[in-house]
Amino acid sequence: MTSLQVIPKIMILDDEPAIRDVLRLRLEREGYQVIQAGNFKEFKKVMVDCDAVLCDIILPGDSGLLALEWTRKYYPFTPVIILTGKPSYETAAEAIRLNAYDYLAKPVEKDELLLSIERAIQHRRLNLEKKRLEEENEAYRLKLEQRVVEQTEALEESQEFLATISNTIADVVVSIRLPDYKIAYANRAVTDVFGYKPEELLDQNIAILFADDSRFEAFQRQKKVALATGQIQIRLEEAMIKKSGQPIWSEMVGVFLKNGDNVTQIICVIRDISQRSLLLGVVAHELRSPLSLVAGFSQAVLRDINDIDRDSIAKYLKVIDDSAARMLRIVDGLLDITSVQLGQVDLKLETVDLNWLVRKFSGDYAYVAGKKNIKLIEKLSEAELKCQCDSAKIGQVISNFIDNAIKFSDVDSKIELIGKRKNNEIWVGVKDEGPGVKSEETQHLFKSFGHTKISNRPTGGEKSSGLGLAICKRIIDAHQGKIGIESELDQGSTFWFSLPIGPKIDKAQD
């Protein structure tokens, strides 16, 4: 934990001093700041906005559930972990109803406690970040509405005044004549967003900016509905298109101008929100793989609950737990998606044996592959394949390679998971027996949405957002590694990456 990081603060509420001392020492050794209370009254006095609360369920004269309820009311973003020496279905159910983050039975293993606290802190940070983003979006929406109103008033006074103001903002402003939908005015921002000079758009139908006719027709329909219901403006998100043919996703706010009782113009403010849409695609794609593992192993347990042995159940639950933890790490990483978009991937470097990492994901995907009777064959070096890397991010790359290989492989085929040392690099590859990729299509594979230019489709009807390999490339680039594909039509494909063995990376954060 560096000096620049805020030290997490944990509140301990327990009536037994010995237990409080044990918990305090354990947490302080892990770098946490600790506050203590021995009863509910003292708890209310010393409680502050902390990162997590450890709460004993049995307190003198009160219940820990009362402290939980009080915390939820006054500190809604602070997660509460309930500790109990006498677990029961009734107290567990009540704790869940009151939105406890976790419910642990004493004595609690150190690793189990620390993992629960770490996840609780991450959960709190995610919720706070979500709240911040929602407040920013609402502020922007209100600001945008106010801006449109102000610009509309200015236009009514002077077209020249509107031109002066609109050319100083980054959003596109266009004036649309009705009923022919011809563009009467466009500000300079249209060049940055759409690639047109303002004069190129004059007297052009606004449909030229929409991705296709159906998008323009949706805009027309929304205008008609708004006018029929007495609204003075419309707001929509639509696919639009640049002069170059590149699609973008835009937010559009239009205000109606009247001449008497007739609407004669629509003043539109258009904002490029492609990055926000890309974020949603990234989230959906990156969470699909661990979610499929959770769903698959959950179905296996539920289906065979009466026949399956306890060891198998424990193994399945371990995969589910690991996948859930992986999803949490992915979401946490995607909160900083802006830097990823710019190619600036922050790394947490450690010494990792890639043999171990490949075996882990081989085991995780064994059930998913088995649904298509696909064999995962490990061809790994006998020696350890150690290098400096971010294990979570390299795990994303390996997971993506295996997931794609399963998607594009036929039933009763095999997939080879290869790991070896080549000179001063560690080389990892995933080889399938799928249809292969045309040589002219391989250049699109590692670009965002590159799957739209690939003729192959998953053999089992699986879906793909086309973002996974693009993210993989950015991760490998951040490690100063290499990534690629070897493929022949009807002979299968090998997706591979290599990482330098030495600590050559300077973008990492310890």
The domain boundary, picked from 214, 241, 272, lies at 272
Residues 112 and 236 placed together within one structural domain of the fold = no
CATH code for the domain of 25? 3.40.50.2300
Residue 30 and residue 54 in contact, taking contact as beta carbons nearer than 8 Å: no
- Contact (Cβ atoms closer than 8 angstroms) between residue 442 and residue 253: no
Q: In whole angstroms, give the CA distance from residue 467 to residue 462.
A: 15
Q: What is the pLDDT along the chain (510 residues), one digit of tens a residue?
A: 444 467 899 999 999 999 999 999 999 999 999 999 999 999 999 999 999 999 998 887 777 889 999 999 999 999 999 998 887 778 788 888 888 889 888 888 888 999 999 999 999 999 888 888 888 888 888 888 888 777 666 656 655 555 565 666 778 999 999 999 999 989 888 998 999 999 999 999 999 999 999 989 989 999 999 888 888 889 888 889 999 998 888 889 999 988 888 889 998 999 887 766 555 665 666 677 677 777 777 887 788 777 888 888 888 888 888 788 777 766 655 554 445 554 556 788 999 999 999 999 999 899 889 989 999 999 999 999 999 999 989 998 999 899 889 988 889 999 999 999 988 899 999 999 988 888 777 776 777 544 444 555 666 555 454 457 877 888 898 899 999 999 888 888 999 999 998 755 444 434
- Same domain flag for 256 and 289: no
What's the pLDDT at 266?
A: 92
Q: What is the CATH number of the domain that holds 232?
A: 3.30.450.20
Torsion of CA 340, 341, 343, 344, to 10 degrees: -40
In this structure, the number of other CB atoms found within 10 A of the CB of residue 503 comes to 12
148 falls within a domain: no
Residue from 215, 219, 160, 214 nearest 187 by CA: 160
Judge if 162 and 198 occupy the same domain: yes
Residue 101 CA to residue 173 CA, distance in Å, equals 47
Q: Is the peptide bond before 76 cis (omega within 30 degrees of 0)?
A: no
Question: Which contiguous run of DSSP H or E holds residue 366?
Answer: helix 354-370
The packing angle between helices 468-478 and 274-303, to 10°, is 100
Spatial separation of the C-alpha atoms in residues 428 and 399, rounded to whole Å: 12
Q: Are residues 474 and 458 in the same domain?
A: yes
Output DSSP code: residue 450: G
Residue 475 φ/ψ region, left for φ over 0, alpha for ψ in the -120 to 50 degree band, beta for the rest: alpha
Residue 4 is assigned to a structural domain of this protein? no
pTM exceeding the 0.75 threshold for the entire prediction: no
Neighbours of 67 (CB within 10 A): 25
Strand 482-488 vs strand 492-500: parallel, antiparallel, or unpaired? antiparallel
SS3 294: helix
Inter-residue contact 492 to 432 (CB < 8 Å): yes
The residues near 6 (Cβ < 8 Å, ≥ 6 apart) are: none
Please indicate, yes or no, whether residues 346 and 384 belong to a single structural domain of this protein.
yes
* Distance in angstroms (rounded) separating the CA atoms of residues 130 and 151: 31
Q: How many domains does the chain have?
A: 3
- Domain membership flag for residue 143: no
Tell me what pLDDT residue 305 has. 77
Do the domain assignments include residue 168?
A: yes
Do 306 and 421 sit in the same domain of this protein? yes
User: Does residue 98 lie within any of the structural domains?
Assistant: yes
Model pLDDT, residue 306: 78
Domain assignment present for residue 146? The answer is no
Evaluate the omega torsion of the peptide bond into residue 107 and state whether it is cis, within 30 degrees of 0: yes
Give the end of a domain, one of 272, 293, 324: 272
Domain hosting 34: range is: 9-130
Short-list 112, 126, 50, CA closest to 330: 126
Beta strands in 78-199, from DSSP E residues, in sequence order = 80-84, 102-105, 172-177, 182-186
Q: How far is residue 494's CA from residue 7's CA, in Å, rounded to a whole number?
A: 45
> Are residues 306 and 442 both part of a single domain?
yes
Assess whether 294 and 246 both reside in one domain: no
The whole-angstrom separation of Cα 13 and Cα 202 is: 69
Q: Which of 272, 295, 319 is at the close of a domain?
A: 272
Q: Is 142 among the domain residues?
A: no
Residues 164 and 70 in one domain: no
Task: Please tell me the distance from the alpha carbon of residue 224 to that of residue 217, in angstroms, as a whole number.
Answer: 11
* 445 and 376 fall within a common domain: yes
CATH of the domain at 331: 3.30.565.10
Q: Which residues of 199-219 are buried (b: 16+ CB within 10 A; e: fewer)?
A: eebeeeebeebbeeeebbeeb
State the pLDDT at residue 279. 58
Close Cβ partners of 196 (under 8 Å, ≥ 6 residues apart): 186, 190, 243
Are both 334 and 363 inside the same structural domain? yes
Question: Do 330 and 457 have their domain in common?
Answer: yes
Q: Domain for residue 149, yes or no?
A: no
SS3 for 292? helix
Taken in order 75, 108, 117, 47, is the CA torsion positive or negative?
Answer: positive
